[in-house]
Chains A and B, each alone.
Chain A
Amino acid sequence: MEQNRNDNNFEQCIKCTVCTVYCPLAAVNPNFAGPKQAGPDGERYRLKNPLYYDESLDYCLNCKRCEVACPSNVKIGDIIQRARMKYSKKRPSLRDWMLANTDIMGRLNTTFAPLVNRILKLQATKGVMEALLAIDHRRSFPAYSNHKFTTWFKMRTWQRSYKHYVTYFHGCYVNYNYPQLGKDLVRVLNAIGYGVHLLEDEECCGVALIANGLTRQARKQGMVNLLSIRKVVAKGEQVVTTSSTCTFTMRDEYPSVLGLDNADVRDSIVMATKFIYELMDSDQVRIAFREDFHKRVAYHTPCHMEKLGWAVYSTSLLRMIPGLELLMLESQCCGIAGTYGFKKENYVYSQKIGEDLFKQIKSMPVEVVATDCETCKWQIEMNSGIPVVNPISILAEAIDFEKTKKLNKVK
């Protein structure tokens, strides 16, 4: 029958409940009834009367594993996020504001990095932060860098000209906490014949703002980013990233949660691992690896990488390294979910969610864990004691730069 085609995404749910089975939170927090109830089931009640909004939706990690699991393509995570934005009466606290504004905090803290890092490590500081801000004292903060990635990028004394260019969206973590990852990427891209540009204006992607209810600010920053991205895409450049969460946010959360239309540029925003893998797979570039590189690596699939469906690019790229033995960790949430795990009220759940993953890592004879998300890195390092690195950094370590440049005819 041609008539009456359903347009309401939540009504495509046939109540199979597989989303709730895959929800990392529902398994450990009995107060959260799971994505099915919070999403499609609850939506009918909220449409009846906003009073039916259930505050337990605030527990949602926004990992989107429910959406990956859904056989009916219901945007369960989006339904929950939008409901929170529309109905939640909770206003962001000072703590939420500080956690969400990763760029403002980053800018402040890089200036006094050595001091800030030392202060953040003090038990006394942790106690004060818990008491004043409800940031859990058991959490370790990522160290801030004493210089910004962008400062290093602009200070490079001379730039060769390249046949091809890409634009790098570095994100807050690379800029304020770990510029080395950005440097690694630039080096790798340059070696395969790609010059690197930065966006004219780059703001934080806004993922933490969305999670902390600062929607208006997130939308504003998103608009700035899209404007800059449009300019480079118009020049024919792709935008590459090294963070799965930033990528996922700009590609998927912008339109579905923030209502920002990105259809014209969405396909041009890609993870660097996918970008490089595809160049190699189509024989457009070649990479020579060091013969003395040997490493046993376990790959952890971040939730948003799972949602993008792109973990396969990172792992395939790693598998190309001859001296690398890759072990796959079961794809499951590590529990941190960005700023989520830092909050006192979420700490216990955050740790419980990751428990199995930490156990699996500890049982494996690996030297490092590779993953595409910085917050997964903090969580796994804190709980397993094993260093976690981005696949791009592993690549940079394994590449024979001189040979690679020659192969790609880079002078």
Chain B
Amino acid sequence: MQKGKHYDVIIIGGGVTGAGTARDCAMRGLKTLLVERYDVSAGATGRNHGLLHSGARYAVTDQESAAECIRENLILSRVARHCVEDTDGLFITLPEDDLAFQSTFIGSCQAAGIKAEAIDPKEAILLEPSVNPTLTGAVRVPDKSVDPFRLTTANILDARLHGAEILTYCEVVDFIKDGSRVVGVNLVNNNRAKFTAYSEIVINAGGIWGQHVAEMAGTRISMFPAKGALLIFGHRVNNLVLNRCRKPADADILVPGDTICIIGTTSSRVPFDEVDNMRVTPEEVDLLLREGQKLAPSLAQTRILRAYAGVRPLVASDSDPTGRSISRGIVLLDHETRDDIPGFITITGGKLTSYRLMAERATDLACEKLGKEKACRTADVCLPGSEPEEPQPKTIFNLPQLSQLGQRAAKGRHGTMSEKISVKTEYDGSLVCECEEVSVGEVNYAIDELHVHNMVNLRRRTRVGMGTCQGELCACRAAGLLAKANGCAIQAEKDLASFLQERWTGMYPIAWNETISEVQFISWIYEGMCGLDNIAD
């Protein structure tokens, strides 16, 4: 075992919260290490709606969260411009809902500082033609859509630019303690190599897995895994976020995100031993479709790409371990005062929209403990890719190697960082993923710069394999590029097989109509023609 390096802060967890915390710490001049068991945004970060809440959803029940949301919503629209799409949202009242709720709702929104304006149902239909035409009321709110993969990647990139070290596929196996104080962690990476890292502070940003991290550190957090299932549709049905104007319930949000739209979610308690292996049940698919059609009837005739589920890291407050009053607010635990474990902090609860604030609070506490007086700047400094741009001359798209569509799609994904994508040769400009318009240049950029070790990583950074064909055309091309980059074809073959298996897992719950044809076609290509099923495992 080699002698471990020493850091100011070690952050456990590469979700958006961990990535945001790493960025904040690094920006404040702390020597930072982020460790992630798998890939960045592999957990709940990558398994939600991608909704940048205006706060309206929480306004009636939780004013504090609502006010928090709208503040963060406005900040992220500025500093994470390329990850956020300013869609606006509608809260619609259907005949089965109580229209009286609308005035309560608007009042609560306004109290929380959220612009909420009742509009005529006819105007709502004009604004969003996909909306259920039987609606009796509509309220327009500043909901937005956010790409959580992009957001996390941008935070990771910037953390690194500020000197943080990022280790993915690197799991904490236990804590090193000096008396009760946490002084470091023992780690094991995916080559089963063990090593140690020391730090003044360890921040647990493990989401639902944070309970296990806390246990390793010698304390307990009562988390309540709440499964949320969602469906992805093949294209955008709506361009405004659609919500139901009533108390939050199942499957009542339809969010347009990149080229697709997502309906969700269900909500059910799941046992802890299932959180690593979420499956979507037929009952959940039925529920999502049934309720989704009430928001936008055309969902009934829209191709479904996949079903997936995430686990919300809900935390029971310390005063109520039974879990009856589960908060959706931010939970920052100073284990020094709570459990007498100095050097250990947990940041959890919260939501995607408030990740930056969570990071700020965790970093504030870390700075306080380290005696570092440096103000948080993450609300002001743009993430890489979101820097303000000079108005571009019209001739920006004159690179013959890549189609206009391809160039615009890459720009949409990487913002100003798309300038780093090589388009020097025709080969660079040729497409890997045709559905999502991802070029060879973009894949190589991701491999070089964005912590890509395998195809799932690549998918999260670039959308390779996220489109309609679910890897049918792009998987083998991407595997080829990874084989070249890593110098190992055998690994790439195995990776390819497991990638396609992972794609099938998401298609299985909704495998009818075109999806089953597509799957059949994928299997002809990869099993029938390429003999991929003959590869070990």
Contacts and interface: CB of A to CB of B under 8 A. Distances in A.
Interface stretch (A46-54, A145-153, A396-404): A46-54
Contact of B512 (A4, A13, A52, A72): A4
B343 to A, nearest CB: 47
Given A48-B236, A51-B408, A54-B404, A6 B435 contact: no
B500 to A, nearest CB: 14
Contact of B403 (A1, A10, A33, A36): A33
Contact of B513 (A6, A43, A47): A6
B437 A11 contact: no
A45 interface: yes
B272 interface: no
A33 B473 CA distance: 15
Interface in B355-411: 400, 403-405, 408-409
A41 interface: yes
A4 B289 contact: yes
B304 interface: yes
B471 to A, nearest CB: 10
Interface string B322-334: 0000000000000
B405 A8 contact: no
B514 A6 contact: yes
A238 to B, nearest CB: 36
B434 A15 contact: yes
Contacts of A54: 403-405
A56 B404 contact: yes
Interface in A17-46: 17, 30-31, 33, 36-37, 40-45
A14 B405 contact: no
Interface of B: 234-236, 239, 256, 258-260, 286, 289, 298-304, 400, 403-405, 408-409, 426, 431, 434-435, 437, 467-469, 472-473, 510, 512-514, 517-518, 521
A44 B512 CA distance: 21
6 contacts: A4-B300, A5-B301, A6-B513, A8-B303, A14-B517, A56-B403
A84 to B, nearest CB: 14
Given A4-B289, A37-B405, 12 more contacts: A3-B289, A4-B300, A4-B512, A14-B521, A41-B434, A41-B435, A41-B467, A44-B260, A45-B405, A52-B409, A55-B404, A56-B403
Contact of A15 (B298, B300, B403, B468): B468
A14 B512 contact: no
Contact of B235 (A5, A15, A44): A44
Interface size class on chain A is 20 to 34
Nearest to A3: B289
Contacts of B258: 48
B236 A4 contact: no
Contacts of B299: 4
B384 to A, nearest CB: 23
Contacts of B303: 6, 8, 11-12
A44 B435 contact: yes
Nearest to A46: B405
A30 to B, nearest CB: 8
B409 A8 contact: no
Given A5-B301, A14-B469, A37-B405, A47 B512 contact: no
B423 to A, nearest CB: 14
A-B pairs, 6 with minimum CB distance: A7-B301, A15-B469, A11-B303, A54-B405, A54-B404, A44-B259
B259 A45 contact: yes
A17 B473 contact: yes
Nearest to A42: B405
Nearest to A16: B521
